[in-house]
Amino acid sequence: MNAQVLQAVWAVVLLTGTGTVLGLVVGIVVKLFGAEIDPRIEEIEGLLPGANCGGCGFAGCVAFAEALAHGKAEPTACPSNSAAAVERICALLGVAAGTRNPKVAVVLCGGDNAKARQAALYNGVVDCKDAMLVAGGAKGCRFGCLGLGTCARACPFAAIEITAAGIARVHREFCTGCGKCVAACPRNLIRLVPADAPVHVLCSSPEKGAAKRGVCEVACIGCRKCVKASGEDHITMNGFLAVVNYDNPPTAEVAAVCPTGCLVATTPPAETETADPAREMVHA
Amino acid sequence: MPEQVRFRGGVHPDDGKSLSQAAAIQDAPLLETYTVPLLQHIGAPPKLVVAKGGKVLRGQRLAEPSGFVSAAVHAPTSGTVKEVTEVALPTGRTGPAVVLQADGEDKADEGLAPLTDWAEAEPQVLKQRIVDAGIVGMGGAAFPTAVKLSPPATKPISVLILNGVECEPCLTADHRLMLEQPEAVLTGARILARVLGVRTVRIGIEANKPDAIALLTEKARGTGIEVSGLRVRYPQGAEKQLIHALTGRKVPAGGLPMDVGVVVQNVGTAVAVAEAVTLGKTLYERVTTITGRPVVRPGNWRLRVGTPYAKALELAGGVSFDPAKIISGGPMMGFAVYSLDIPVMKSTSGILLLAREDVTQFTGEACIRCGRCVDACPMALMPGTLSVQIENERFDLAETWHALDCIECGCCAYACPAHRPLVQHLRRAKQEVMARRRAAENKSKR
Amino acid sequence: MSDTLGLIVGAILVNNFVLSRFLGICPFLGVSRRLETALGMSGAVLFVMTLAALVTSAINRCFLVWLHLEFMQTIVFILVIAGLVQVVEVVLQRFSPPLYRALGIYLPLITTNCAVLGVALLAVKNDYGVGKTTVFGAASALGFGLALVLFSSIRERLDLARPPVCMRGTALALVTAGLLALAFMGFSGLGA
């Protein structure tokens, strides 16, 4: 046998031997320390939005995927996921898909700079939480939106825009209802409501009608007209403030009776599609 | 003047005291209504003890302390309780307040008898009197005085310091008080020393008030109370800096003066204590400086608690031109307010109006890492670095960089050539860090 | 003794694998966002590099040279490294899942990390013995860790800065890496 063939044989033997030995070592280590990894976790993770918004109550999408695989969470708990993805996760886990009422955030204040009075000129850090530390905010209404964008920066989906008139507005088509903005707003103006809610009272001030009127054109003055028009089941009075009963909402027509324009009907999504440039701006 | 220990950092702003320091304290005339807020101190809100329509006398209790860290509130004059309502406060919050309709007679309540033999009285009795009179720290923080006078047995107190530094620019209330009521200051000091059981009492006064230093030194001769003139440097009157200057002791980070055996009280507090003990007078009025270039007659007034800022300003002759900014307190540490419909409180040391030329409107720019804020910080923090962390909402980092040690003196923002809102950032960070700690505590409890 | 010391100083500072030889750049840029992951990566590399140096050197001496199979070095070394990486991966997954997740793809990529293969091949080229190779491997791993920790600390600070948009992210990271490499040039001439 010539030397070259012999060398080739030795090469094969050497590689096989090294491979076998290492394979044994790895096998032993796996036996000793190996952790049981559910292959579904990675798959589920791929079906989640990956924004780590925390809306599900877990510390990010990976933690949620793990909880799902272990049966400790419902696939519908993720507020941001599409219905199709939820269905696929359910199929993967072999559970029946629960129904989920999609929610969106709404800023319950309509007093932008054109309609609500500013009490002072604020010249500090551009953040609502910082502004709150200076005499409680410079807006005339102590309960109104400061418009400095803390919620917009908190939104993982860039669904909140600070309008040119200086108020936060949620773009419903992008909002997934994760609730980050709800926690961010220092004035507690943002609420998660059913996505199909037809009307909202865009005012959160519990003050008396006259006091509110003094600082804001579009405040709820507590006239009860909407309550009379729709019935107590649909809109209730909380002191001087009308509150929409989102479990049993009134029809959109009731908005017409509001004398201040504080009760507004939800704009159909078709009209808000023009908001795309603003969204691009937020992303940039 | 003996050589003083110098605290690190600090700044030297124009003191602006010449406007009002020559004006003797004047008593304010009686008003028709007073709006007396219930929560005027740091701690638990007191419990209301009068009802709507009830008659009260001057100095009578309107609310009683609801806990250890709480303080009573008293009526500024005799009259009827018109209503109890929610009002805006100088701090920017709102809170419940008693609206008092004065009857014009200003009849005094005789509830607390003068303790003429205080030099022999039990410390406990004296301390109870301080609680009964609703006395809180008059320097600005309004921490209930009796709490400061009750150190735990593990922390013996050896030195009492009276703070007459008044390093805050523009304010002259403490200065006038020391000039006009030196006996009350010294009596208060001796009462406080008796309550604490300390022998060493020192009064620190900034060297820009030579008349007050001379007068108090003269009056204190033979009492064992030592009066010291201190270097003119802001924030010389901050508790920890003052302790360092007078005793050389350093309060540890996150600690209290009692950790180094010291209690600091403001001279205004000492006068209130003296009056409560020797006259039986409760704390319903205080000396407040009303000053600023727009003010027609800047000066110092003895204002009753609950006087609206607008009425206080009328006393000073109103304004000669529109102010650009109104500040409750001094220019360095005071709070900007936007309404004059807020009442004077026990902690209102000054009402300052700033002209447009005095107010700078800058937009904060990027940090240029010059380090002036680090040089200026009396607490040896790095405000520039902290502010960048805070801008990025990294409050976890800010906590490890000791944001909580900030005393909010404002030296960093004063020194910053890029006009960065450093102290504003730190204020926010302190709030967020405390909120995070509370959240973590609640979590661990559950 | 001074020979070994020179070798160690040389491997850590003078001929730093990342900053002087420019090997192992992939994890250097990939896992340097946070100090904790950088420390985890350094630990993993230290383990793999030291053992790989020891095992490859032994195999080289005992089998390859003896059998005149030197041309098989690369493939055999990679095989050894791959096996060791598997061990690290299994252990990390069990004992520190967050670190495992943070290292992500960069952990299995240690297999093809040129720094590890570089240690093995350089040791052969320089004709180091088994003991010396092991020391060389450990020191090189420490040098790699030093560069990674320094760089990640700088990047944590950079995260707080607001550079112009065109410089954000990798662009600024690469500039920083370049400056760091320049700084390490100052060590040339030190030790061996």
Q: What is the pLDDT of residue A44?
A: 86
Query: Domain with B138 in it: what CATH number?
Result: 3.40.50.11540
Q: Say yes or no: C58 contacts chain A, CB-CB below 8 A.
A: no
ipTM of the complex: 0.81
Q: Kindly report the backbone phi and psi dihedral angles of residue B351, in degrees, each rounded to the nearest multiple of 5, phi listed first.
A: -120, 115
Q: Say yes or no: C59 contacts chain A, CB-CB below 8 A.
A: yes
Q: How far apart are the first and last CA of chain C?
A: 13
How many contacts (CB atoms, under 8 Å) link A and C?
51
Q: What is the 3-state secondary structure (H, E, C) of B44-87?
A: CCCEECCCCCCEECECCEEEECCCCCCCCEECCCCEEEEEEEEE
Strands A263-265 and B47-48: unpaired
Query: Which of A127, A151, A155, A187 to substitute to test the interface with B, most B CBs within 10 Å?
Result: A127
Q: Which residue has the tokens 């925390």?
A: A54
Residue-wise pLDDT for A47-67, tens only, equals 888 878 877 878 788 888 888
What's the pLDDT band for A1 if we cut at 50, 70, 90? low
pLDDT over 80 (residue A273): no
B91 vs A contacts (CB less than 8 Å): 136
Residue-wise pLDDT for A21-30, tens only, equals 999 998 998 8
CA distance B100 to B87: 13
Whole-model pTM: value is 0.83
Provide residues of A within 8 Å CB-CB of chain C.
7, 10-11, 14-15, 18-19, 22-23, 25-26, 29-30, 33-35, 37, 62
Is there a contact between B361 and A125 if contact means CB atoms under 8 Å apart? no
Q: What is the pLDDT of residue C191?
A: 58
Is there a contact between B421 and A142 if contact means CB atoms under 8 Å apart? no
Q: DSSP string covering B288-316, please?
A: EEEE-TTBSS-EEEEEETT-BHHHHHHHT
Is there a contact between A26 and C83 if contact means CB atoms under 8 Å apart? yes
Is there a contact between A35 and C94 if contact means CB atoms under 8 Å apart? yes
User: What one-letter code names the amino acid at A209?
Assistant: G
Same domain? B407 vs B270: no
Per residue in B313-330, is it b (16+ CB within 10 Å) or e — as a string?
bebbeeeeeebebbbbbb
CA distance B227 to B216: 7
Same domain? B407 vs B258: no
Q: What is the pLDDT of residue A272?
A: 44
Q: How many domains does chain B have?
A: 2
pLDDT over 60 (residue A276): no
Q: Which domains, from first to last, does chain A contain?
A: 39-93 (1.10.15.40), 103-186+268-282 (3.30.70.20)
- pLDDT tens track of chain C, all 192 residues? 678 888 898 899 998 999 988 888 888 888 888 888 899 889 888 988 998 999 999 999 888 888 888 888 889 999 988 888 888 888 888 888 888 877 877 888 887 778 889 999 999 898 898 999 999 999 999 999 999 999 999 998 888 888 888 988 889 999 999 999 999 988 887 754
Q: How far is A62 from chain B (nearest CA, A)?
A: 22
B427 vs A contacts (CB less than 8 Å): 133
Low-confidence ranges of chain B (pLDDT < 70): 1-4
Q: How far is C144 from chain B (nearest CA, A)?
A: 27
Same domain? B119 vs B253: yes
Nearest residue on chain A to C71, alpha-carbon basis: A11
CA distance C10 to C187: 9
CA distance B130 to B149: 10
Residue B80 inside a domain? The answer is no
Helix (H, G, I), strand (E, B) or coil at A241: strand
Q: Name the residue among C83, B346, C24, C48 with its Cα closest to residue A21.
A: C83
Q: What is the pLDDT of residue B427?
A: 93
A124: nearest CB among B93, B337, B421? B421
Q: Which of A88-102, A138-152, C83-97 has the highest mean pLDDT?
A: A138-152
Average pLDDT, chain B: 92
pLDDT over 60 (residue A275): no
Last residue of a domain, which of B255, B279, B303?
B279
Q: How far is B390 from chain C (nearest CA, A)?
A: 9
Residue numbers of the domain that contains B151: 112-279
CA distance C86 to C107: 9
Is there a contact between A129 and B428 if contact means CB atoms under 8 Å apart? yes
Last residue of a domain, which of B252, B279, B306?
B279
Other beta carbons within 10 angstroms of residue B38's beta carbon come to: 20
Same domain? B240 vs B382: no
Q: What is the pLDDT of residue A274?
A: 46
Same domain? B258 vs B117: yes
Q: Name the residue among B159, B179, B164 with its Cα closest to residue B228.
A: B164
Q: What is the pLDDT of residue B311?
A: 94
Q: What is the pLDDT of residue B259?
A: 93
CA distance B426 to B352: 23
Query: Which of C62, C79, C107, C166 to substitute to test the interface with A, most A CBs within 10 Å?
Result: C79
User: What one-letter code names the amino acid at B16?
Assistant: G
Check: CB of residue A176 under 8 Å from CB of residue A195.
no
User: What one-letter code names the amino acid at C31?
Assistant: V
Q: How far is C84 from chain A (nearest CA, A)?
A: 8
B391 vs C contacts (CB less than 8 Å): 160
B392 vs C contacts (CB less than 8 Å): 159-160
Strand residues in B103-246 grouped as ranges (E): 159-163, 200-206, 226-230
Last residue of a domain, which of B246, B279, B312?
B279
pLDDT over 80 (residue A99): no
Q: Say yes or no: A117 contacts chain B, CB-CB below 8 A.
A: no
Nearest residue on chain B to A135, alpha-carbon basis: B92
Same domain? B264 vs B386: no
Residue-wise pLDDT for B160-204, tens only, equals 999 999 999 999 999 999 999 999 999 999 999 999 999 999 999
Nearest residue on chain B to C157, alpha-carbon basis: B389
What's the pLDDT band for A182 if we cut at 50, 70, 90? very high
Nearest residue on chain C to B387, alpha-carbon basis: C160
Q: What is the pLDDT of residue A60?
A: 80
pLDDT over 80 (residue A283): no
Average pLDDT, chain A: 84
How many contacts (CB atoms, under 8 Å) link A and B?
44
